Homo-oligomer: A and B are copies of this chain.
Amino acid sequence: MAASPQLIYTEDIGDERLDEFRDLTTADRRPDRPGGRGLVIAEGTVVVRRLAESPYPVRALLGVRRRFDELEADLAGLDVPAYVTSADVMAGVVGFHLNRGVLATADRAPQPPVADLVAGARVIAVLEGVGDHENLGALFRNAAALGVDGVLLGPGCSDPLYRRSVRVAMGHVLRVPFAVASGPAEWKAALETVRDAGFRLAALTPRPGSVPLWRAAADEKVALMLGSEGHGLSDEALAAADVAVSVPMADGVDSLNVATTGAVAFYELTVRREGTAADVRR
């Protein structure tokens, strides 16, 4: 019989075995930062389930009994401690109230080199300056839903493994492969690696001269570059692109949120072009 989590019952708020789950508001801080533990935190059954399927090594679980019952099949084979307690003790340990009733911690998994990220990929997202955790999480959720193969994170992006991003992404940051190239030289090299792999770099920008998004769909491999909501892509990023594309907007309206722009662009380059190609073949 395969190993399963060992259910360990405790109602002691001071139980040292629960220290893993204390001070969760900063537990996700990058390990390369002072005091950073760099844990990956999964909240709720949907995200815990996704974590269990991911390459991230699960360390421990904490939750109310009902949630473990719901997750039984998903957690089979996972040989880690699973602390069962009440909602109140849970809240006392983590420091705030969680509606979701179950938590898991995991270690970070190594990130793929950019060359591995693009190998076999057809559409990737390339992000610059997306510092907002919710926008970043939503971009990963949209990328997963629409079949984007990977995400390259350039300068100014926040950490997709922060708790809030993991939650907004509904755990899809654990599923969509990503690589980080935050330094200027690393970033430049990463963009060259992407281009060398046969991708056309399409920068999403409302600037004059950009062509409507759908005209970029003729390229087999597309790397969609998206910038921060406030300022868009930097001049350097725009200069590095092969083509500037836009979602044409109604007059006088602020641009869409960056995650929404991403969704529209992902849709156009994935399900839309594959689907209409299939329609033509029928």
**Chain A residues proximal to chain B, CB less than 8 Å:** 46, 138, 141-142, 144-147, 170, 172, 212, 214-215, 247-250, 253-257, 259-260, 263-264, 267-268, 271-272, 275-276, 279
Copies held by the complex: 2
Q: A145-B255, A256-B141, A256-B145 are in contact. Are A214 and B248 (CB under 8 A)?
A: no
Instruction: Give 12 CB contacts A-B under 8 Å.
Output: A141-B257, A142-B256, A145-B255, A146-B249, A147-B250, A172-B253, A212-B271, A214-B275, A215-B279, A247-B271, A249-B271, A264-B267
Instruction: Give every chain B residue within 8 A of A267 (Cβ-Cβ).
Output: 247, 264, 267-268
Instruction: Give every chain B residue within 8 A of A276 (Cβ-Cβ).
Output: 214
A113 to chain B, nearest CB (A): 24
| A250 contacts B144, C-beta separation under 8 Å | yes
| A254 contacts B145, C-beta separation under 8 Å | yes
Residue of A46, A145, A255 with highest tally of chain B CB at under 10 A: A145
CA distance A271 to B249 in the complex (A): 7
| B214 contacts A253, C-beta separation under 8 Å | no
Instruction: Give every chain B residue within 8 A of A215 (Cβ-Cβ).
Output: 279
Instruction: Give every chain B residue within 8 A of A256 (Cβ-Cβ).
Output: 141-142, 145-146, 263
11 new A-B contacts, CB < 8 A, other than A259-B260, A263-B263, are: A142-B256, A145-B256, A146-B249, A170-B254, A214-B276, A215-B279, A247-B267, A247-B271, A248-B271, A264-B264, A267-B268
CA distance A145 to B279 in the complex (A): 29
Instruction: Give every chain B residue within 8 A of A144 (Cβ-Cβ).
Output: 250, 253
Instruction: Give every chain B residue within 8 A of A259 (Cβ-Cβ).
Output: 260
Instruction: Give every chain B residue within 8 A of A257 (Cβ-Cβ).
Output: 138, 141
A5 to chain B, nearest CB (A): 23
Instruction: Give every chain B residue within 8 A of A247 (Cβ-Cβ).
Output: 146, 267, 271
Instruction: Give every chain B residue within 8 A of A170 (Cβ-Cβ).
Output: 254
Instruction: Give every chain B residue within 8 A of A214 (Cβ-Cβ).
Output: 272, 275-276
CA distance A272 to B279 in the complex (A): 17
Q: A141-B256, A263-B256 are in contact. Are A212 and B250 (CB under 8 A)?
A: no
